[in-house]
Amino acid sequence: MIFIQVNFGGFVPLSTVDWRGRSVCTVFLRGCPVRCIYCQNTAILSGSDLRGIDEVIEMIRGSRMLVSGVIFSGGEPTMQKDALLALAGASKEMNLLVGVQTNGIYPDTIDALIKKRMVDRLALDIKARWERYNNLLGGNYVRKVQRSLTLCRDSHESGMLPEFEVVITLFRGYEDEVPYIAADAGDVDIVLQQGVTGELKPLSEDELKMIADGLEHAVKLRTREGGELLYESDRSRRASRKR
């Protein structure tokens, strides 16, 4: 038997906001090689809190009567490939659905999760148009994220990945990037998420709706004030009727 350790970042035993329509528990895995200015979990981007895999599995088991799924987030959960695969496998054995929130820079982990049928929902955070990606993240990541997007999109279309969404965290001044990202994402669920920092006034829900009006399919809007809502513009309704 192989002993696997998890660089543990935290645990929420019950959440009703991490997976729309479901009560889930959320496991945070520590560590991430990128430093996004809007990250809400900066305390677990580095450092070490090593736990045995069984300890974290027991945390999940303790929430099993209250939840229908488990979300793995971070940090960057796919950074810990062996630990994530073991935790996802144990969750599936408990008949829990598995969701992963990722920045996509570890496509081999995503590929393994999909092939082993260990993930039911994946949220891929795409941070900018490809031309800006490497400068923004401070590393050579663009091809890895592009591969992750292709893997998820193709697997979603084939039915191997039941739920898939592309999350765009949007800041004032970068509104024109959305059509480029949406075009590369293709016909998948798009989330426009309100970016919040101390330096810029966040885009309002109405401003996010104006951006969504330029897209040809419905999007989800996420703001601190209003939570998550599904928004369908006149343009998206017309495009839907043509399909």
Task: Establish if 158 belongs to a structural domain.
Answer: no
Task: Establish if 207 belongs to a structural domain.
Answer: no
CATH number for the domain harbouring residue 108 = 3.20.20.70
What is the average per-residue pLDDT within 203-222?
Answer: 91
Task: Establish if 78 belongs to a structural domain.
Answer: yes
Q: Which structural domain range is residue 25 located in?
A: 1-130
131: tokens are: 């031309």
End-to-end CA distance of the chain: 52
Angle at 129 (CA atoms; ends 182, 210), nearest 5 degrees: 50
Contact 125, 195 (CB under 8 A): no
CA atoms within 13 A on the CB side of 124: 31
Task: Establish if 151 belongs to a structural domain.
Answer: no
Task: Establish if 155 belongs to a structural domain.
Answer: no
Task: Establish if 228 belongs to a structural domain.
Answer: no
With CA atoms as reference, report the closest residue to 66 among 29, 30, 12, 8: 12
pLDDT tens for each residue of 4-26: 999 999 999 999 988 989 999 99
pLDDT tens for each residue of 75-128: 999 999 999 999 999 999 999 999 999 999 999 999 999 999 999 999 999 988
Tally of domains within the chain: 1
Task: Establish if 203 belongs to a structural domain.
Answer: no
> What SS3 state is found at 104?
coil
With CA atoms as reference, report the closest residue to 44 among 59, 29, 66: 29
